[in-house]
Amino acid sequence: MRANIKRKNLKYMVGYTKALGKPNSALFGDKDDPKVTSPQARRLSNQKAMELMKLDDKAKADYILKNPSLVQKYPDLVIKPLICSKLASFNWRDKGKVSPVKEQACYDCWAFAAAGAYESSYLIRNGITVDDSEQYIIDCAVSDPPDNEDAGSCSGGLAVKALQHMVRVGTATEATLPYTGTNHACTNPATPLDAISWGFVNPDADFPTTAQIKEALCKYGPLTTRMRVVSDDFKAYTEGVYNETVASDTSGEGHAVVIVGWDNAKGAWLIKNSWGTDWGYDGFGWIAYGSNRIGRHSAWIVAESSLWSIRDAIHWRVGYQQAYNRIREHQKYSKSKEQLTKIEAELKSSEKTMTAAEQLLSKKPINKQEANSLVVNIDNHTKNLDNMTNALGGETLTTTPLSSTQTSTQLTQQKMLATQSQQQTLQTLSNFSKSMHDMRMSIIRNLR
């Protein structure tokens, strides 16, 4: 290795690391899923992300206005991305906003990248170090509806699927579910660590530009990113700027790491790896811009603030999307296509009313006339949706044989799937109806 590095005049050094003695199955693990990383999926994810960030920005600005001393205690909350991104060098590790390096034991780098980005965001927004449970992510993380697929396992996964779960459900602490590096059934532990939004650095491109990654680092904090590794030099990396030309996004092994900063003099990103502290610079490394196809599908996550919250907005939006998706999915089993169309229209109309209510509550003081009008509208939507839901619960489901050769066992399975679909649809509609009631009560409390 060293002779090859010297012959090629490469700018990094290698030596013995624990990673050299491990199989690839204990070091890598990034696996793609086009359902989440396709251009269309990326754009849809970011549309929702930007809506949530607008709410958070407004809540943060209101809180800082009322508590101006907060800026002195948490100066990183008001970093200006466009100014910060023009700096010759910047990294969150030197600012004390990166959690300790950990060591993966199976094909689960994706879980460590997601946890690492979240832990840094929590530090930036709350000034507290938390220890996220990678084991929880492996065992329990599920992608957003309608896919509802495992984010991954000890056989590989995708970090952004874990980010979806963190925003929708939250995540557990290491103390609650310690890391074993093996697959287990989800035990549904408490998830006190919440996130409010996540998104791709550039939804329109597989590889964001260097400038876009820098700006996202400044605005959101450390980022999850994907890369490819072909040479064992990477396992043995100890210092310098690593640089390896990789032909494609399927060459070698897929790896997920956290980008925590940059240095233009080095022409490199500072990354946090998950191979223990004897790799690189105490577990960190410098990777040249563009090397190893690093930067692919880079993504950010924003932890919930302990000072202000937009969880109500997240809950009702998630509930709306789940209900809408279930109605679309249930069409294959329902005989009442016209009824489903009416429910779909009612959901869309309810979503507009809920958005208006959310905007009303963001203004202080609130307009009483507008508030009373919205309460009436929410009451009407809730009543309509409850009546439609009751009617849907009493319908006969479609269990027509899919083909003339379908067996009785297959027909029984189809009936079971139809019943499950009906139950899930009714539950999601009931959940969204409850979210509307909660919004109604929030308006009434603000009127007092």
Helix ranges (DSSP H) in 107-175: 109-126, 134-140, 159-168
Residue from 205, 297, 312 nearest 254 by CA: 297
Instruction: Extract the tokens encoding 106.
Output: 């199976």
Burial of 9: CB neighbours in 10 Å, binned 0-12, 13-18, 19+: exposed
Helix (H) and strand (E) counts for the chain?
A: 13, 11
Residue from 289, 283, 282 nearest 266 by CA: 289
For 158, list phi and psi in degrees, rounded to 5. Answer: -130, 125
In angstroms, the CA 297 to CA 42 distance is 9
Residue from 254, 287, 288 nearest 272 by CA: 287
Residues annotated as catalytic are: 109, 255, 273
Residue from 70, 51, 103 nearest 305 by CA: 70
CB 195, CB 183: distance < 8 Å: no
Instruction: Extract the tokens encoding 293.
Output: 């196809």
In angstroms, the CA 247 to CA 57 distance is 40
Whether a cis peptide bond, with omega within 30° of 0, leads into 365 is yes
Within 264-382, strands assigned E span 268-272, 284-288, 296-303
